[in-house]
Amino acid sequence: MLNNKKIKNLGYCRSCINDVYGLNLKKEDVFIYEFPGQCKNCKRMGNIVAQVRPSKTWKLLGARESDG
Protein backbone atom coordinates (compact mmCIF):
# COMPACT_ATOMS: atom_id res chain seq x y z
CA MET A 1 0.00 0.00 0.00
CA LEU A 2 1.19 3.46 -0.84
CA ASN A 3 2.23 5.46 2.19
CA ASN A 4 4.55 8.29 3.06
CA LYS A 5 7.47 5.96 3.67
CA LYS A 6 7.09 4.63 0.16
CA ILE A 7 6.61 8.09 -1.33
CA LYS A 8 9.79 9.27 0.29
CA ASN A 9 11.65 6.33 -1.23
CA LEU A 10 10.15 6.91 -4.67
CA GLY A 11 11.62 10.35 -5.23
CA TYR A 12 8.92 11.20 -7.74
CA CYS A 13 7.48 14.54 -8.72
CA ARG A 14 3.80 15.08 -7.96
CA SER A 15 2.59 14.56 -11.51
CA CYS A 16 4.37 11.19 -11.71
CA ILE A 17 2.84 10.05 -8.43
CA ASN A 18 -0.54 11.03 -9.79
CA ASP A 19 0.08 9.29 -13.12
CA VAL A 20 1.59 6.10 -11.76
CA TYR A 21 -0.83 5.63 -8.90
CA GLY A 22 -3.95 7.15 -10.42
CA LEU A 23 -4.21 9.85 -7.80
CA ASN A 24 -5.20 13.48 -7.77
CA LEU A 25 -2.77 15.03 -5.33
CA LYS A 26 -2.83 18.78 -5.45
CA LYS A 27 0.03 21.12 -4.79
CA GLU A 28 -1.32 21.93 -1.36
CA ASP A 29 -1.67 18.24 -0.45
CA VAL A 30 2.04 17.53 -0.41
CA PHE A 31 5.31 18.68 1.05
CA ILE A 32 8.15 19.03 -1.41
CA TYR A 33 11.86 19.12 -0.80
CA GLU A 34 13.36 22.55 -0.30
CA PHE A 35 15.59 22.15 -3.34
CA PRO A 36 14.56 20.82 -6.74
CA GLY A 37 15.72 17.34 -7.61
CA GLN A 38 15.52 14.86 -10.46
CA CYS A 39 12.37 12.79 -10.55
CA LYS A 40 13.25 9.09 -10.61
CA ASN A 41 10.34 8.40 -12.92
CA CYS A 42 10.31 11.11 -15.60
CA LYS A 43 13.95 12.15 -15.04
CA ARG A 44 13.02 15.81 -15.19
CA MET A 45 14.35 18.31 -12.70
CA GLY A 46 11.56 19.59 -10.56
CA ASN A 47 9.88 19.61 -7.20
CA ILE A 48 10.16 16.19 -5.65
CA VAL A 49 7.51 15.12 -3.20
CA ALA A 50 8.87 14.43 0.25
CA GLN A 51 5.56 13.38 1.77
CA VAL A 52 1.84 13.85 1.66
CA ARG A 53 0.35 16.05 4.34
CA PRO A 54 -0.89 13.90 7.24
CA SER A 55 -4.37 15.36 6.83
CA LYS A 56 -4.36 14.26 3.18
CA THR A 57 -2.98 10.75 3.42
CA TRP A 58 -6.53 9.41 3.03
CA LYS A 59 -6.10 10.20 -0.65
CA LEU A 60 -3.50 7.46 -0.83
CA LEU A 61 -6.14 4.86 -0.04
CA GLY A 62 -7.30 5.13 -3.63
CA ALA A 63 -3.86 4.45 -5.04
CA ARG A 64 -3.59 1.99 -7.88
CA GLU A 65 -0.82 -0.41 -6.94
CA SER A 66 1.97 -0.88 -9.39
CA ASP A 67 3.92 -4.13 -9.46
CA GLY A 68 6.42 -4.60 -6.70
Q: Is 13 one of the binding residues for Zn ion (CB under 5 A)?
A: yes
Task: State how far the Cα of 52 lies from the Cα of 8, in Å rounded to an integer.
Answer: 9
Q: Specify the residue, 24 or 55, whose C-beta has the smaller distance to Zn ion.
A: 24
Asked whether position 42 contacts Zn ion by CB under 5 A, the answer is yes
Stretch that binds Zn ion, among 11-19, 30-38, 47-55, 58-66 (CB under 5 A): 11-19
DSSP state of 40: T
25 near Zn ion, rule: CB under 5 A: no
Q: Is residue 54 classed exposed, middle or buried when 0-12, 13-18 and 19+ CB atoms within 10 A define those classes?
A: exposed
Contact with Zn ion (CB under 5 A) among 4, 18, 41, 57: 41
Query: Pairing between strand 49-52 and 30-32?
Result: antiparallel
Tell me the one-letter amino acid at 33.
Y
Interface with Zn ion (CB under 5 A): 13, 16, 39, 41-42
